[in-house]
Amino acid sequence: MGQKAALLLVSRRRLVVAACALALACCRAEPTATVDPRHYDAFFLWPGMRPPDLPGGPNVVYLLAGEVRSSDASRMVPLRAVPHVPKAEVWLTVRAERLDWSEGVYRQLLVDLARWQTAGNHVAGLQIDFDAATKGLDGYAVFLGDLRRRLPPQYRLSVTGLLDWSAHGDPAALASLGGVVDEVVIQTYQGRRTIPGYQNYMAALAKLHVPHKIGLVENGEWQEPPVLAQDHQFRGYVVFMLNRPPT
């Protein structure tokens, strides 16, 4: 092979390599965005945490008020004083590790809701943060139905939910939730990180015939799946704040 032919062959090979590299770059997904709380208007706040500084403040806040711990079903452990959030819709959130509550817990909840409202807050309702197993949704629905009957009618009922509910939950159990709660906030994270493969669960949300929001974690990864645009029950996002760098 002559020198010119060899040079021509090398050049062609380089062109092929460059073309392949360009094609691969075009096929790669766009980089996933990081959840910046300043781009949202609804937040879940643990005690001591604050929402981001936004013009006009947040529109919705879920404030963790207390816990019913696994060691004691007779009381709700208070975690914060009565808040003063006059401009936002406020949800009083209770984190539950068990559901066999005493009557004292229910009485305390009703007292706290009234106190929060009297303090000038726009209290939307009560949210229960309980990690109900997907196979236990029917029992959870029974608990929530009893709670709903105890709540004054001006308060709505919200629950946090797992990604797995819509994908593998019993259709009858999911339907029973729809007759009890006003919204479900689907958590897309564990700890401080977004659950890998969250996109695969989004299409299954159509089985959840309840208004639902997507719970994101501050600084977590998120790229909105296109299927959400066709989800008529989708009501936006709630950012679970960390207020500290992720580990």
At 16-46, the pLDDT tens digits run: 444 443 333 333 334 459 999 999 999 999 9
Q: CB–CB of 222/33 below 8 Å?
A: yes
Q: What's the full length of the chain, in residues?
A: 247
- Residue 130: per-residue pLDDT: 96
Quote the CA–CA distance of 214 and 196 in Å, as a whole number.
Answer: 15
Mean predicted confidence (pLDDT) in 183-207: 91
Q: CB–CB of 98/68 below 8 Å?
A: yes
Mean predicted confidence (pLDDT) in 202-214: 88
**Inter-helix orientation angle 171-178/137-150, to 10°:** 10
φ and ψ at residue 39, rounded to 5 degrees: -95, 10
Quote the CA–CA distance of 41 and 34 in Å, as a whole number.
Answer: 16
Average pLDDT, the chain: 86
CB-count burial class (<10 Å; 0-12, 13-18, 19+) for 192: middle
DSSP 182: S
Residue 6 has pLDDT above 50, yes or no: no
- Residue 21: per-residue pLDDT: 38
Nearest CA to 40 out of 209, 237, 208 is that of 237
- Please state the separation of Cα 23 from the chain's center in Å: 36
Mean predicted confidence (pLDDT) in 112-136: 95
Summarised one tens digit per residue, pLDDT across range 215-243 is 999 999 999 999 999 999 999 999 999 96
Quote the CA–CA distance of 196 and 191 in Å, as a whole number.
Answer: 13
Quote the CA–CA distance of 119 and 106 in Å, as a whole number.
Answer: 20
State which CATH number among 3.30.980.10, 3.30.499.10, 3.20.20.80, 3.40.640.10 fits the domain covering 33-240: 3.20.20.80
Summarised one tens digit per residue, pLDDT across range 144-176 is 999 999 999 999 999 999 998 877 878 788 888
Parse the chain into domains and list their residue ranges: 1-30, 33-240
Quote the CA–CA distance of 23 and 21 in Å, as a whole number.
Answer: 5
